[in-house]
Chain A
Amino acid sequence: MSVPILLPAIGEIFTQRSGILNLGLEGVILMGALGGFVGTYYSGSLWVGVMLAVAFGMLFSVIMAVLSVTIRANQVIAGLALTILGAGLSTFLFRIIFGIKKLPPSIEPFQAIKIPVLSEIPILGPVLFQHNILVYLTFVLVIVSAIVLEKTTFGLKVRAVGEHPQAADSKGINVYLIRYICVIIGGAFAGLGGAFLSIGYMNTFLDQMSAGRGFIAVAVVIFARWNPYRALGGAFVFGLASALQLRLQAVGVPIPHQFLLALPYILTILVLISVSKKAEFPKAFTLPYNRGER
């Protein structure tokens, strides 16, 4: 269950590296979940659903890009507005598209693929190698993202824009364009994360099904200090804590379940406190760029 946290987190790494904080991930995930479901429902193809989810995520995050880059609005407020809008709009569109039904519309989700040989390994096998294709895709995307950010000119431009937009601009890098692209990349990833929820893990769209995972993703990004591999670790730890607390509850450990439920979040806070001192935010983080200002 780390995937719907990891995917938005990877996208958010791009966004934040370019100097933009997108707190609206929660809303983008919900729009992606809706897009994924609608696409699959009407086309009958899960991949059309995935594409529509990514498209919904990108389109929806354009709002964030306009607000934060062009209008230079306060990014915290704009992000929260996006979260609220996404939650309301996805529910609203779902009702408009499907109407009131006695039976919730559903689809056949992605099936788990067992990788031969590797999935037979005891303990590790079922944990790592018996998942649906989106999970494997996520692992690939982690590696690709790390390479793009660290080894390509585009990655260098992104980091330059996040660290010192004036300098980047003077070298002929289009700061606005890079930031737009990064926010939209973030939207694509978050949309894919939403698709994982609605057509990868569940078989339908439900209101608020992201249940706070967008915010955890933002925490994971800071924990990972903007590195996709560490984000993989962070999301995995959170997923593990979440699975562990469910198991502990079920076997009847004599700890109040309210505490167990809070465990993954307490863990997140503790980890954040301990690593936040080491975290070096991009220099131009949350600072809007204005060519006219010096």
Chain B
Amino acid sequence: MKKSIWVLIALVIMMGALTVGCGQDNAPTGSENEGKFKVALLLPGKIDDVSFNQAMYEGMKAVEEEMADEIEVKYVEEVYEVADIEPALRDFASEDYDLIFGHGFQFMEPIIKVATEFPDVKFALGTGYKTLPNTCVYDINLQEGGYLMGTIAGMMTETNKLGVVGGADVAEIYRGHEAYKYAAKQVNPDVKIQELYTGDWRDVAKAKEGAISMYDSGVDIIWHSGDGIGLGVVDAGKEKGKTVLGNVADQNVLAPDAVLSGVVYNFSPVIKNIIDDVLDDNFTNREEKFYWLTVANEGIDVAPFYEQDDQVPQEVKDKLTEVKKDLADGNVEMPHFEK
């Protein structure tokens, strides 16, 4: 019996090493380009998820190309579990990285903890609310995105029934959902809205099941607020021949007949802003620690209608242009949605 236990322990360790190896195959190694500003980006999912991670990856890639002489960036995917995050952050911090991005709400507590241990390293957290002098938060003003989608959905619906599907009920998503409902009622007071959360970002099958049940009850347009579960909603729309509004990345490619439009995030301006502030020594001393993706700084935009363009009345397009301009100028009145 004794021997078998040791064999098992060895196997478990090997398996552990293997899986950890998968998650961190881009783990930090010595840098060849000494002197450059070193940036690390830790993503909770895959860089080709047509969503939250891909948008950030592409945003960072654009900045990296633009500032190729000054910065170098390391990318790590699939740092999803909180238990994996802290060691990963510590790895990069002790490898002399200057700025570390943790792309997701679950990075908040680990970043606060590790940032205390490494006061000279700067951290940027993607959505959240806690900050330290050497950390900042970049977040999406999804309120504006939700408002835009609510405007489209409220005007385009034929059944006066709309749906919205979200992952977990976190601050950013909540604001988006509320603004969506608010805007839809502004343009169409008769509209009824169904809402549901799947409770996580990965259970596509559950999201699809929920979306199908919405469509079956008469809903004709659903906006989803993003991530893996969004693919389930898109698939439901495709199967039922109903309309989907996407989020984060332009998802028209997934189902050109079902995806009418969507919110598109562009992280580049905000990433550039953060890096510039750190380089200009304007980071630790600033009071405003939140960097927002907004319509005004082109962090939030609306995806084109593509081949469904001729089905969208001019009236809707005009309204959309008007709302976008008003949002950018800060002329849209809506309540401040906070829990």
Contact = CB atoms under 8 A, between A and B. Distances in A.
A91 B8 CA distance: 24
A201 interface: yes
Contacts of B197: 249, 257, 261
Contacts of B194: 250-252
A250 B200 CA distance: 16
Interface stretch (A47-55, A98-106, A146-154, A228-236): A98-106
Query: In terms of DSSP, what is the predominant structure of the interface of chain B?
Result: helix
Interface stretch (B42-50, B127-135, B288-296): B42-50
B238 to A, nearest CB: 8
B298 interface: no
B195 A206 contact: no
A92 B232 CA distance: 22
Contacts of B208: 201-202
Given A204-B231, A207-B78, A246-B209, A81 B11 contact: yes
Interface string A71-85: 111100110010011
Contacts, number: 126
A242 B209 contact: yes
Nearest to B23: A88
Contacts of A250: 163, 194-196, 210, 213-214, 217
Contacts of A202: 204-205, 208, 231-232, 235
Nearest to B54: A102
B205 A73 contact: no
A201 B169 contact: no
A157 B235 CA distance: 45
A95 B203 CA distance: 19
A102 B53 CA distance: 12
A81 B47 contact: no
A249 B217 CA distance: 13
A102 to B, nearest CB: 7
A201 B204 CA distance: 10
B216 to A, nearest CB: 9
B119 interface: no
B204 A85 contact: no
A62 interface: no
Interface residues of B, number: 46
A208 B206 CA distance: 13
B12 interface: yes
Q: Among the interface residues A95, A242, A258, which one has the most CB atoms of the partner chain B within 10 A?
A: A95
B16 interface: yes
Interface string B303-325: 00000000000000000000000
A87 interface: yes
B22 A211 contact: no
Contact of B15 (A81, A206, A247, A261): A81
Contacts of A209: 202-205
A249 B11 contact: no
B205 A197 contact: yes
Contacts of A78: 8, 11-12
A246 B195 contact: no
B205 A81 contact: no
Contacts of A204: 231
Interface string B13-48: 001101100110000000000000000000001111
Contacts of B254: 103-104
B7 A71 contact: yes
13 contacts: A71-B8, A78-B11, A85-B15, A102-B253, A104-B50, A197-B205, A207-B45, A211-B200, A211-B203, A211-B205, A249-B195, A250-B195, A251-B194
Given A1-B209, A249-B210, A250-B213, 14 more contacts: A1-B206, A72-B4, A84-B16, A91-B46, A92-B22, A202-B208, A202-B235, A207-B202, A211-B200, A249-B197, A252-B195, A257-B169, A258-B199, A261-B198
In the A-B complex, the 7 residue pairs with the closest CB atoms: A88-B19, A73-B8, A249-B196, A250-B194, A261-B199, A211-B203, A246-B210
